[in-house]
Amino acid sequence: MATDYFGVLGVSRDASDSDIKRAYRRLARDLHPDVNGDPGAKERFQEVTRAYEALTDPDKRRIVDLGGDPFDPGSGGGASGFGGAGFGGLGDIMDAFFGGAATRGPRSRTRAGRDALIPVELELDETVFGTTKDITVDTAVLCTVCTGAGTAPGTHPTTCTTCSGRGEVQSVQRGFLGQVVSSRVCPTCSGTGQVIPEPCRECGGDGRVRARRTLQVKVPPGVEDGMRIRLTGQGEVGPGGGPAGDLYVEIHERPHEVFTRDGEDLHCRVTLPMTSAALGTTLSLKTLDGEEELDIRPGTQSGSVLTLRAHGAPRLRSTGRGNLVVHVEVSTPTRLDAEQEKLLRELAALRGEDQADSHREAQGGLFSRVRDAFNGR
């Protein structure tokens, strides 16, 4: 089985070259045998180095993407050492420790913005049937005065005198390899190679300001509590006027006074008098779709469940709708007037359900069965 080189470096299969190099440098700093005395560090360092070579060499990367192993002759590859094609050897290891490649050259002031999250409360019928909502968000937007440049009108950035525009400064230090020249991000320009002598008064040189705005969100039918709707490019504008992140609208469904929700199914309870449950009746039930007739069959018991098909929520990623599940509870009267009690006693007598006689008969039947069991009948 081919080695999962992406997993060795902890990157996704669509990782870019810069992502792979960044992951390798981070691991190499921790695992290099000269700084990590753990017995397994050397083997692990060789493993990540091998993965780095496999994923940075175009030919080897092609074999990996096809499911093979570039170091396995049977996969069309061949073994190679640390100095093989596509691998910088000691140079990359030095970069990992001293940041040479990580900080080499000025970096852009323009960076992508962050995503934003805002909760929105909706009623049950809005999540079931969908709706359109106006929401107010407070995020970073592009500065209209400098349009993201960060400079005052009529001025421009100048070259940083600390690093001469390189974005990094170097220092000489003695280490385990002798005298080493290391690089770090320029503290004056933060690695951009430029400084802004006259920042924009509106944004202070950041290229963005905070503002409140109103957006319209289309909520599709069938969304559930906790789901998120993504609005691409409506999040925070990045520093230097960089591209905006995304805005996520999180759905919070308010509790309903009648219905509860379980996925695409809705549940409710109805309470019936015992006479209606015994004789049967027709109820007018108010659903989210309007009034519906619900047939109660004679002899319906408490705890029975009736289902109205396709009266629930729409299936978000499919067709059709869920059901409305009606739970029936039969109510026994607690107070009877003399006439009602008389009628119930007459009914009990007619049905042979007189309490005393029924209790005596039940006891007699029980004692008879126990007696017969002891007598071996």
Binding residues: 143, 146, 160, 163, 186, 189, 200, 203
Say if strands 168-175 and 281-287 run parallel, antiparallel, or are unpaired.
unpaired
Question: Which residues are CB-contacts of 324 (< 8 A; sequence separation ≥ 6)?
Answer: 259, 265, 266, 267, 268, 287, 307, 308, 311, 312
Say if strands 265-273 and 116-122 run parallel, antiparallel, or are unpaired.
unpaired
User: Looking up tokens 């993504």, which residue turns up?
Assistant: 230
DSSP assignment letter at 167:
S
DSSP assignment letter at 223:
-
Cα–Cα–Cα angle for 113, 114, 119, rounded to 5 degrees: 135
- Contact (Cβ atoms closer than 8 angstroms) between residue 285 and residue 272: no
Specify binding-site residues for Zn(2+). Answer: 143, 146, 160, 163, 186, 189, 200, 203
Q: 3-class DSSP state for residue 274?
A: helix
Q: How far apart are CA 27 and CA 332, in angstroms?
A: 72
Q: How far apart are CA 227 and CA 252, in angstroms?
A: 8
Q: What are phi and psi of 356, to 5 degrees?
A: -65, -50
- Alpha-helical runs (H) found in the chain: 5-9, 17-31, 41-56, 58-65, 90-98, 100-103, 124-129, 274-279, 338-350, 355-375
Q: 3-class DSSP state for residue 138?
A: strand
